[in-house]
């Protein structure tokens, strides 16, 4: 009999379960970050700084567009994990097929909206005239593949909800290699331009989505996908939306705030855009321990609360948070020390390097605060309290961040003023999360 990759995190040694679940997530995120960086590396070295600015500054706008649907996918994963932990297989099946139906609809809507609105949003962001044509081409091609990356995130959410982080890793490795190969072929060999980098990305996303779907079609019966069962179950859709909509709104609102930040960066010119965009690709490596432990804690908390294992939840929370903040800070120290060499990999323009290094020196040593906030958000989502991280991050990472930049840049019109918005708001959200958790522990029934 084939060994199942799914894992019940309600049994066994806590630290082993979390680490064994987190390692494939870490490796998967690493490969994803490598192929995200590959776009910028190849474009920057073959097509120049304006093309690099168009590609490397894309992250905030892309996340603004897809964040809502990815958040709802996270909510669906919480629902699936809760039923999986409680061994309510029929309800879990309804949740799985409802979220797939939602993903198909969402992917089609996102494609139409994003392709139409990308030029408008890019102009609103103050994208420089010399960068705008490449940016419009990149975004329109990228978002034509919306259905593939929305469904991929949903499929991965289902697998992670049942404790399977190994198969998503395998498919992401394949996708990463496909993306890098196509980037080199389209941009480096054939010289097709910036749009071909987006085309390489959507092809690789489609490959990973198809591989995930094939696996789910042949998975163990309790979480196997059947085309005949894909439909909207009203009761389950309400559960998924109630759990996922706050996370989705949080993603979109934070991304909107970061788009405002990006628009302020754009005012400093294309070199600033390229330098900050290059730094963003490097910063993505700091997110590896942050996201893998945050997702691990979401699944761990969901399954164990579903099984009524309250003391186990408390122990897992402490272990996961400590691991995340320690690992993130080590990465931050490395980026702080080696930032000139790392930024220089993307472009050798001294102005580009100087801007990226300035951001790294300002922000990188505060990654432990970023890790703590994301882990606490993951814990509350796993407990079904997704409104808590939404409100905290809406206030701290959106309202306060944007207000600070709007006011401060007028008095101190240097780019460092923009950079300080991140560690300041990370610190504030960490304090609020800590105080709230102290008063409202997610496993309070076990006290």
What pLDDT does residue 210 have? 95
Distance CA 364, CA 329 (A): 8
Helix (H) or strand (E) holding 295: helix 270-306
In tens, the pLDDT along 10-23 reads 888 888 888 888 88
Q: Tell whether 3 is covered by a domain.
A: no
Cα torsion 416, 417, 422, 428: sign: positive
Residue 81, pLDDT above cutoff 80: yes
Query: Residue 132 to residues 136, 191, 281, 346: CA-CA distances in angstroms?
Result: 6, 20, 20, 20
Residue 373, pLDDT above cutoff 90: yes
Q: Which residue range is the domain that position 269 belongs to?
A: 14-446
What pLDDT does residue 3 have? 45
Q: Tell whether 45 is covered by a domain.
A: yes
Confidence band (pLDDT; 50, 70, 90) for 442? confident
In tens, the pLDDT along 223-233 reads 899 999 999 98
Residue 2, pLDDT above cutoff 50: no
- Mean pLDDT in residue range 382-389: 86
Contacts for 243 with CB less than 8 Å, ≥ 6 apart: 75, 76, 78, 79, 381, 384, 386
* % of the chain surpassing 70 pLDDT: 92
Q: Tell whether 6 is covered by a domain.
A: no
What pLDDT does residue 166 have? 84
What pLDDT does residue 352 have? 85
Tokens 């309202």 locate to 399
Q: Tell whether 5 is covered by a domain.
A: no
What pLDDT does residue 372 have? 96
Q: Tell whether 22 is covered by a domain.
A: yes
Number of domains in the chain: 1
Q: Tell whether 58 is covered by a domain.
A: yes
- Tell me the range of 132-146, 253-267, 357-371 where mean pLDDT is highest: 357-371
Q: Tell whether 9 is covered by a domain.
A: no
Distance CA 339, CA 390 (A): 32
Cβ(393)–Cβ(377) under 8 Å? yes
Q: Tell whether 8 is covered by a domain.
A: no
């Amino acid at each position: 009999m084939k060994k199942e990759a799914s894992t019940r995190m309600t049994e066994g040694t806590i630290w082993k379960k979390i680490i064994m679940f987190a390692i494939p997530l870490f490796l998967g995120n690493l490969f994803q970050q490598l192929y995200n960086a590959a776009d910028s590396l190849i474009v920057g070295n073959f097509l120049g700084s304006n093309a690099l600015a168009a590609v490397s500054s894309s992250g905030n706008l892309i996340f603004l567009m897809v964040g809502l649907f990815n958040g709802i996918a996270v909510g669906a994963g919480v629902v699936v994990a809760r039923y999986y932990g409680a061994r309510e297989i029929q309800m879990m099946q309804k949740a799985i097929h409802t979220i797939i139906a939602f993903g198909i609809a969402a992917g089609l809507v996102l494609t139409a909206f994003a392709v139409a609105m990308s030029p408008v949003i890019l102009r609103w962001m103050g994208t420089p005239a010399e960068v705008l044509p490449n940016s419009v081409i990149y975004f329109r091609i990228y978002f034509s593949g919306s259905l593939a990356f929305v469904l991929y995130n949903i499929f991965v959410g289902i697998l992670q909800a049942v404790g399977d982080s190994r198969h998503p890793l395998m498919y992401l490795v394949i996708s990463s290699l496909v993306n890098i190969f196509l980037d080199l072929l389209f941009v480096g060999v054939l010289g097709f331009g910036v749009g071909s980098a987006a085309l390489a990305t959507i092809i690789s996303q489609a490959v990973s989505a198809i591989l995930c779907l094939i696996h789910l079609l042949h998975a163990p019966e309790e979480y196997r996908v059947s085309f005949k069962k894909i439909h909207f179950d009203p009761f389950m859709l309400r559960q998924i939306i109630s759990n996922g909509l706050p996370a989705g709104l949080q993603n979109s609102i934070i991304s909107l705030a970061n788009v405002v930040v990006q628009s302020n960066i754009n005012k400093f010119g294309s070199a600033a855009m390229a330098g900050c965009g290059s730094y963003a690709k490097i910063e993505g490596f700091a997110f590896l321990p942050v996201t893998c432990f945050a997702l691990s804690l979401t699944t761990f908390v969901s399954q164990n609360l579903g099984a009524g294992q309250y003391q186990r939840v408390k122990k897992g929370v402490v272990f996961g948070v400590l691991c995340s903040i320690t690992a993130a800070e080590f990465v931050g120290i490395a980026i702080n020390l080696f930032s000139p060499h790392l930024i220089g990999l993307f472009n050798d323009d001294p102005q580009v390097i100087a801007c990226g290094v300035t951001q790294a020196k300002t922000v990188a040593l505060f990654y432990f605060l970023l890790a703590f906030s994301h882990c606490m958000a993951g814990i509350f989502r796993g407990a079904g309290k997704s409104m808590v991280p939404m409100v905290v991050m809406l206030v701290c990472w959106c309202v306060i961040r944007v207000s600070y930049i709007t006011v401060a840049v007028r008095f101190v019109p240097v780019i460092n003023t923009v950079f300080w918005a991140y560690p300041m708001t990370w610190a504030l959200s960490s304090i609020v999360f800590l105080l709230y958790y102290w008063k409202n522990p997610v496993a309070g029934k076990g006290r």
